[in-house]
Amino acid sequence: MLQTLQILFRLWASGDQSLSLSAFLMIREVASLLPDCLDLCLTKSYNTYLASTKLVNDRNIKHICFLINCLVELYSLYVQKSYERAVTSVEQLNAILRQASKTKEKVCHKAYIRTCMCT
């Protein structure tokens, strides 16, 4: 199952519209039918999103917004689990931003910037 999910996440991030959508629908189905895989799907989808958005430009902004919409849908399946995962992510981001504010160079975390782009 893990190898299948790995492939699905790669296809989801590929940028090909129909392939990405098909892969996401399968990921959502796995997360819905196999609650034991939900945490893995939430974590892997978020990490895949971060890896896919290292470079933002006019060509890929539409796909990035698609990925964000997919994340929202996936995280909406089980609100309690998603809430726990979201709190952990916000805490990590808070620690990164707090550390960045202490440095002489003011550095914005790329994940924070990418998240704000499509909202």
Q: Which tens digits make up the pLDDT trace of 25-74?
A: 999 999 999 988 988 999 899 889 888 887 777 888 889 899 999 999 99
Backbone torsions φ then ψ of 13, nearest 5 degrees: -85, -5
In this structure, the dihedral spanned by the alpha carbons of residues 80, 85, 88 and 90, taken in order and rounded to 10 degrees, is -90
> In the prediction, which pLDDT does 113 show?
55
Kindly report, residue by residue over 8-20, the tens digit of the pLDDT: 999 999 988 899 9
Higher-pLDDT residue of 115 and 62 is: 62
Cβ distance 60 to 15 under 8 Å?
Answer: yes
7 has a pLDDT exceeding 80: yes
| Residue 3: both structure tokens together | 């190898």
Residue from 67, 81, 84, 76 nearest 16 by CA: 67
Q: Which residue matches tokens 């924070």?
A: 112
